[in-house]
Amino acid sequence: MAHQQRGSDTISDPSSQRDIGSDAVNHSGRVHDEASTSDRAGNKSDARGKHPNNVRKLRIERMMSKAELARRAGLSVLTIDRVEKGYPCRLGTKRKILEALDLGLAERVNVFGEEE
């Protein structure tokens, strides 16, 4: 955001603001796409969709919000959102989600697919 300094007053220039949509601003102020990540060497990779699953479908079939599933599973809404987007998660997280959806551990393959 552009600022003009007048004495002790700071004036913001709204014409310099822009809508970044679904992009996010990291701690250095740079805009980046939430779906892409970089390792320490700077190599970019897209983690979204690497682990497709049926969590969202099953949650919606049960008319359950992300917040309700998170509460029942003892997880954060952010974790539920990331799992539904296909980001990898721990086995304990998968177990909690299965239990919160009233599914047995045998249903793991139907919900999360085959493990690598």
Condensed to tens digits (0 to 9), the pLDDT of residues 47-86 reads 556 889 999 999 999 999 999 999 999 999 999 999 999 9
Strands of 8-108, DSSP E: 9-13, 23-25, 31-33, 36-38, 44-46
Amino acid 114: pLDDT? 82
Within a domain: 71: yes
Q: Count the domains in the chain.
A: 1
Do 22 and 79 contact (CB within 8 A), yes or no?
A: no
Residue 104 lies in domain:
58-109
Within a domain: 62: yes
Within a domain: 11: no
Within a domain: 74: yes
pTM for this model (two decimals): 0.59
Within a domain: 6: no
Within a domain: 49: no
pLDDT at residue 34 tops 60 = no
CATH number at residue 68: 1.10.260.40
